[in-house]
Structure 1
Amino acid sequence: MSTASKAMAGREAIAVKGWLQAHKWLLLRRASQTFFLLIFLLGPWFGLWLVKGTLAGSLTLGVLPLTDPFVTLQGLVAGHIPETTALIGALIVLAVYALIGGRVYCSWVCPINPVTDTAHWLHRRLGLAKGWQPKRSTRLWLMGTVLVVSALTGTIAWEIVNPITLLHRGLVFGIGFGWALVLGIFVFDLFVARHGWCGRLCPVGAFYGLLGQRSLLRVTARDRVACDDCMDCFAVCPENHVITPALRGKGSDTPLILSPDCTNCGRCIDVCSVDVFAFTHRFDTNVSEAPATPADTRAA
């Protein structure tokens, strides 16, 4: 796909479906990300403590504990036994993301995602080269390294440099190292490695990807026979290698995107002018049949 074509991705969908329909899932994701960020900021900003804590660990309405299971895992390997409420919170989060898809966290909750999405959008607009691409397994190695460091130091190591936590602190307390780190991630994704942070490096994304391998929520290319090879889905997908098996499959090949790398962001659904993609569940393997040709009709 040419650089110009990538920059134009989604234009046909806008013409066919209208701007809102061609951005429906993107707008819903931005609303979700904004909601989760603001609900944590209502307390320190306005004194309205609906939720106390951060995405690493929180208490909602003084009743519902929620704990990042990756944080809990680091604590366990560091030799710390979590309190009962923290353990319950981790189990709740584990169950939710195991059900709906681990990397849903990356595209619907994580406040760093809009930063990396903006970098990718600008990367396409400027027509920049693909750049250096670390292996996707790098994030798994970094996840393992984080756990080893936690075990050796007795600390929850990732929280020291976690850009999500540092961004939260920056929004609460003002200018700090967190903003510099967020800017660094933006520059890295823009000039060094396309989708480099979320797709290649982030250990949190690696953990949630493993967590959601058997999740129910899936994207399907059920109507792949209608595909006109515009390649817009590949241009906008942050993990575009996950599309090919479902979209290019033949006959009884599953139309489901089953890779744990898929973030269920829905952008492939948005930008497809012929509605090839849709959200479904992992047991829905239905595929639309190819429309009958004049030759088929005559033969019948």
Structure 2
Amino acid sequence: MSGKTKLPVGQEAIEKFGWLRAHRFLLLRRASQLLFLGLFLMGPWFGIWWVKGNLSGSLTFDILPLTDPFITIQSMVAGHWPELTALIGAIIVGVAYALIGGRVYCSWVCPINPVTDGAHWLHEKLGMPKGWQPKRGTRYWVLAMVLAVSALTGTIAWEFVNPISMLHRGLIFGMGFAWAFVLSVFVFDLFISRRGWCGHLCPVGAFYGLLGSKSVLRVSAPKRSECDDCMDCFAVCPEMHVIAPALRGQDGDTPLILSPDCTNCGRCIDVCAMDVFRFTHRFDDTPAPGRETRTRTQPASGASRAA
């Protein structure tokens, strides 16, 4: 590690590029989340019905159907074949996320993401231990359990406890008991398990991760030889295990982050003062210089500072 790890996360990027540049993808994500939520709320709040429905299923301009494919699959295993419009909507959404990146939903659309990000921010500010960390495969077991319960009960099981739907309905009809579900996610991430909900338990994230496992949009580390070990990218990444294979790879290894767990949030790009990361596509896999090359040819700037 370099001496720069003592600096606040992202501080050098702020000093080098400015605050806006060092938060550009975070700000774009918040704008995107507000946009999607606002489109659904314009109807019930202001009578502007450009979009009717919610994230589970909607109709845009009375023409374009969009359906959550996870909801559709639950309906099918429960024995309820969806109407043609809903099926078409599920195919449209499924193909879009399969191409763009499944867990883009988690970081750019899901309204629970600001809740869990807020819990993580407060967790770090309070200096709390990371707490209980379920295995990352737990969310896939939860996903399988949801589908099994749907099949056994003949219901769309996850919708009874889905905090995303609870938050949406609460904003329209009044939060009421829905606050308990949203607050429980916040409390879980704050006190029990750091980044536990999205990173370990949420079956929606698990589903979209599988859906986008071969997606085109990727984050890459083409300048990894310039990495100075500040560790800021690991600090801000909600799925930090996805970074190491691309960043720590040897000569000839792909610089692409290929793990389906990556949410394409772009925070690693924001906070990197060395401009190591960027968005690209999965076919841009030209091997990048590895860390061994950097070690042989030049010292890490962070190491020189520490000295």
- AA at the equivalent of 1:67: T
- AA at the equivalent of 1:32: S
SS at match of 1:52: strand
What's the TM-score once normalised by structure 2's chain length? 0.92
Aligned to 2:305: none
Aligned 8 A contact 2:71 2:156 in 1: yes
Structure 2 distance, partners of 1:260, 1:137, is 12
- AA at the equivalent of 1:22: A
Aligned 8 A contact 2:252 2:288 in 1: no
The Cα of 1:207 is off from its aligned counterpart by: 0.3
Q: Deviations over 1:35-86 (max 9, x none)?
A: 0001000001011111110100000000000000000000000001110000
Aligned to 1:58: 58
Task: Specify every segment of 5 or more residues in structure 2 that has no aligned partner in the other structure, as ranges.
Answer: 299-307
Structure 2 distance, partners of 1:261, 1:6, is 28
Q: Deviations over 1:104-145 (max 9, x none)?
A: 000000000000011111111111111100111111001111
Q: Deviations over 1:128-178 (max 9, x none)?
A: 111100111111001111101100111101011110100011101113221
Structure 2 distance, partners of 1:7, 1:95, is 42
Aligned to 1:32: 32
Aligned 8 A contact 1:7 1:124 in 2: no
Aligned to 1:149: 149
Within 5 Å, which residues of 2 pair with 1:87-98? Answer: 87-98=87-98
Aligned to 2:218: 218
- AA at the equivalent of 2:76: L
Structure 2 distance, partners of 1:14, 1:178, is 38
Aligned 8 A contact 1:6 1:235 in 2: no
SS at match of 2:243: helix
Within 5 Å, which residues of 2 pair with 1:155-170? Answer: 155-170=155-170
1:173 to 2:169 alignment: no
Percent of aligned positions that are identical: 71
Q: Deviations over 1:177-226 (max 9, x none)?
A: 21111111111101110110000000000000000000000000110001
The Cα of 1:288 is off from its aligned counterpart by: 5.0
Structure 2 distance, partners of 1:145, 1:68, is 18
Q: Which runs of 4+ in 1 moved over 2 A?
A: 4-7, 286-294
Aligned to 2:268: 268
What's the TM-score once normalised by structure 1's chain length? 0.94
Structure 2 distance, partners of 1:280, 1:248, is 19
Structure 1 distance, partners of 2:11, 2:129, is 22
Aligned 8 A contact 2:12 2:273 in 1: yes
Aligned 8 A contact 2:169 2:175 in 1: no
Task: Specify every segment of 5 or more residues in structure 1 that has no aligned partner in the other structure, as ranges.
Answer: 295-300
Aligned to 2:253: 253
* Root-mean-square deviation (Å): 1.8
- AA at the equivalent of 2:24: K
Aligned to 1:119: 119
1:46 to 2:46 alignment: yes
SS at match of 1:31: helix
- AA at the equivalent of 2:162: N
Aligned 8 A contact 1:217 1:282 in 2: yes
Structure 2 distance, partners of 1:184, 1:282, is 37
